[in-house]
A = this chain, B = another copy of it.
Amino acid sequence: MIHVQPNVLLVSVLNLIGTLVFAMSGAAQGVQRSMDLFGVLVLAFVTAVTGGITRDMLIGAIPPESITSWHSLALAMLGGLFVFRFFRLFDRMQQPVLLFDAIGLGIFAVTGTQKALDYGINWPMAAILGMISGIGGGMMRDVLTAQVPSVLRSDLYAVAALAGALIVVAGNAVHLPLVVVGWAGVAICVFLRVMAIYRGWRVPVSRWGRTEPS
């Protein structure tokens, strides 16, 4: 009898949602840059899996999950094809897309941190690896489209991922159940993103850099 823990099932389902959302964000960049269908799909896949693959390689979970299973590939293709075909519709849905993206970010940060801790990584680096799981895909998407990664510039994006990761670290330290901790981590991540987008919350910029054209 196969016994699936509710946690594991939940994490898997959430990870699939995160993968789909991130794939669509990569595909949208590809369409905007006039890439052909194939380029769009490559960008969708890369955006969806780079964060998780980087984390898995760094903690020694080799081959990474997204390589040993074809589920991420299939989901990325689905998300990429949808955006390629219905780009205008997708473009009009910016508000829900940003929300889904925040949820995806939180999910990847939370599950990434937990996996790093499970592999025996010290907590500061586990939080960093959780953050990388969340932001890695978007960074690769921006590097491949020859832009400075947007995550380095603005909008509490990496900060939100790190906050979610730190909640998981704290929860593990006091032995709270993963379900509680995980949702709390995703919630803080989404909250920070919403505040950044609608209230303009920011991280300070050095006054020396500000005077130069970027």
Contact = CB atoms under 8 A, between A and B. Distances in A.
A175 interface: no
Integer count of this chain's copies in the complex: 3
B148 A148 contact: no
Interface string A36-65: 111110110100000001000111101110
A147 interface: yes
Chain A binding surface, main DSSP class: helix
A110 interface: no
A11 B87 CA distance: 43
A40 B37 CA distance: 32
Counting contact residues on chain A (CB < 8 A from B), the size range is 35 or more
Given A38-B158, A67-B125, A146-B148, 19 more contacts: A30-B209, A31-B208, A33-B209, A34-B205, A35-B152, A35-B209, A36-B153, A36-B205, A37-B203, A39-B152, A57-B57, A57-B58, A58-B67, A59-B63, A62-B62, A68-B121, A74-B124, A88-B208, A143-B146
